[in-house]
Structure formats: structure tokens, C-alpha cells
């Protein structure tokens, strides 16, 4: 009777001790899985970590530069619409340089100056339109730098994780063959490698896809704004030329003929 009582007390004490022991947290479990990963799975995780850091650096840098370009563009538009002379805008355009609208204005203004000194109707309006399109294309090309890397990371990160998944499954089957029995101890390491690399690939790819789509939408918005501003600037040049007195226009035309234009 005494022995059974001591056995029951010892059993209850062991149960209380095991209940008092806190279960391992999910973060410590992930750290343990990464620590116990094989060389192939660890290499996959390192590659995905580098890709994630690079993609986040691109996204944060682009987002900051796009915000600065948008802010300066709004200020430049307000200054342009308040001014009545292109020479005044050309003098202060460098202050708004991060904005791609400044490049469009500079190209059109320079072409206008080459044609007839920045006075009167432009002799070749099509050349002004081509100058605006060229400036818009060059600005968008500059703003799109490194975007292909972001798209590449978003596309290949799941496949890199999938490679780790396949290798983990192969390792699990190899463990089954080594142990000779379908036990959890035999397949657990390979399955954990497969799961952790799959999750890592998704963690890298999902933010890259979202960031690429958002930045691409903002690039399309910048392109539309540059096209609209180019047309607005051409209209302003034509309207200003129409307001020039006829006598002044005639003298300008005679001067152009005298110069051989």
C-alpha cells in the first residue's frame, strides 16, 4: 500500500513538472530549424536573405525618390502657372530638379530658343513635340533603373525556395532509406528544411511583387503627367505668341528672313 502511494505521488509530481515546463515558442522553433538545416537549405536561406535585403533597399530608395519627385513636380507646376514668361521659369527650374517635369521643360525651352530665339510662333511645332517625348522617355528610363532586379527577385524567389523544398523532401526519403523504417525521427529534418525554405521564398517574393506593382503604377502616373505638361507647355507657347502685337510679329518674321531662316 505504501509503495503504490509513493508511485502515485511520483507520477503526479512528474505530470506537474512537465505541465509547468513552458512549450517552446514559435520563434525559437524557427531558429532551431534554421540552425539544424543542412548545407543546401542553409545556402538557399542565405541567398533568399540577400535577395530580400536587396529588394527592400530598391523599394525604399525608389519610394523616397518618387515622393521627392512628386513634391517638387507639384511645386514646379504651381510656379509655372503663376509665371507669365518662360524666361522666368527657366531661371528657377533648377530648384525643382528632382522632378522629371523640369527635363521636359528644359528640352522644349531649348528647342524653342534654337528655332526663333524664344519669341513668336515656333517654326517647327513637331520638333517641340519630339523634344518633349525624348525628355519624357529619358526621365522614365532613369526612374526605372534597378526595377528589373525587383521584378527578377519577385519572379525567382519562390523557385529558389522550391529548390530547397525539393532538396528537403529528397533528404527526408534518404532518411527513410537509412533508418529502414517510416519513423518521425527519420523524416523530420528533411521536412523541416522543406517547410522553412518554402516559407522563406514566399516571404521574399510577396513584398517584391507588391512593391514592383506599386512602383510601376507610379511610373505610369509620372509618364502621364509629363505628357500632359508637355502639351500644356506647347499651348502656353502658342498662346503667348498669339498675344504678341502684329507689328512685333512682322518685325520678328522679317528678322528671321534676313537671317536666312
- pLDDT tens digits, 53-107: 999 999 999 999 999 999 999 999 998 888 878 888 888 888 888 899 999 998 9
Work out the angle at residue 236's Cα, subtended by the Cα atoms of residues 235 and 240, and round it to the nearest 5 degrees: 120
Share of the chain above pLDDT 90, in %: 35
Closest CA to 242 of 126, 119, 77, 128: 119
Q: What is the pLDDT of residue 261?
A: 42
Do residues 226 and 136 lie in contact, with contact meaning Cβ atoms separated by under 8 Å?
Answer: yes
Reduce the DSSP state of residue 69 to 3 states and report it: helix
Write the Ramachandran bin of 260: left for phi over 0, alpha for psi from -120 to 50, otherwise beta: left
Q: What is the pLDDT of residue 28?
A: 61
pLDDT tens for the 261 residues of the chain, in order: 434 433 433 343 344 434 434 444 555 655 655 555 677 778 888 999 999 999 999 999 999 999 999 999 999 999 888 887 888 888 888 888 889 999 999 898 888 888 877 677 778 888 888 998 999 999 999 999 999 999 999 999 999 988 888 877 776 666 666 655 555 555 555 676 777 888 889 999 999 999 999 999 999 999 999 999 999 988 888 887 666 554 444 555 455 455 444
Grid coordinates representing 208 are: 517584391
Other Cβ atoms within 10 Å of 103 Cβ, number: 19
Exposure letters 198-216 (e unless 16+ CB within 10 A, then b): bbbbeebbebbbebbeebe
How do the domains of the chain map onto residue ranges?
38-243
Q: What is the pLDDT of residue 249?
A: 46
Q: What is the pLDDT of residue 237?
A: 84
Other Cβ atoms within 10 Å of 142 Cβ, number: 11
Amino acid at each position: 500500500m505504501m509503495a503504490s502511494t509513493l508511485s502515485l505521488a511520483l507520477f503526479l509530481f512528474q505530470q506537474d513538472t512537465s505541465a509547468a515546463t513552458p512549450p517552446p515558442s514559435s520563434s525559437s522553433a524557427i531558429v532551431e530549424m534554421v540552425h539544424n538545416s543542412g548545407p543546401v537549405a542553409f545556402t538557399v536561406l542565405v541567398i533568399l536573405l540577400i535577395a530580400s535585403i536587396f529588394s527592400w533597399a530598391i523599394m525604399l530608395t525608389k519610394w523616397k525618390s518618387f515622393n521627392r519627385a512628386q513634391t517638387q513636380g507639384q511645386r514646379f507646376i504651381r510656379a509655372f502657372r503663376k509665371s507669365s514668361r518662360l524666361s522666368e521659369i527657366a531661371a528657377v527650374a533648377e530648384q525643382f530638379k528632382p522632378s522629371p517635369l523640369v527635363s521636359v521643360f528644359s528640352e522644349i525651352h531649348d528647342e524653342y530658343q534654337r528655332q526663333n530665339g524664344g519669341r513668336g510662333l515656333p517654326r517647327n511645332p513637331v520638333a517641340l513635340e519630339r523634344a518633349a517625348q525624348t525628355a519624357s522617355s529619358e526621365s522614365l528610363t532613369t526612374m526605372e533603373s534597378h526595377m528589373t532586379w525587383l521584378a527578377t527577385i519577385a519572379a525567382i524567389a519562390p523557385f529558389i525556395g522550391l529548390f530547397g523544398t525539393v532538396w528537403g523532401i529528397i533528404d527526408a526519403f534518404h532518411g527513410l532509406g537509412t533508418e529502414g523504417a517510416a519513423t518521425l525521427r527519420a523524416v523530420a529534418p528533411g521536412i523541416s528544411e522543406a517547410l522553412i525554405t518554402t516559407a522563406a521564398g514566399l516571404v521574399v517574393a510577396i513584398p517584391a511583387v507588391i512593391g514592383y506593382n506599386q512602383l510601376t503604377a507610379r511610373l505610369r502616373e509620372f509618364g502621364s503627367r509629363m505628357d500632359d505638361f508637355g502639351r500644356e507647355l506647347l499651348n502656353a507657347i502658342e498662346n503667348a505668341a498669339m498675344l504678341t502685337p502684329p507689328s512685333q510679329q512682322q518685325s520678328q518674321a522679317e528678322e528671321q528672313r534676313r537671317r536666312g531662316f
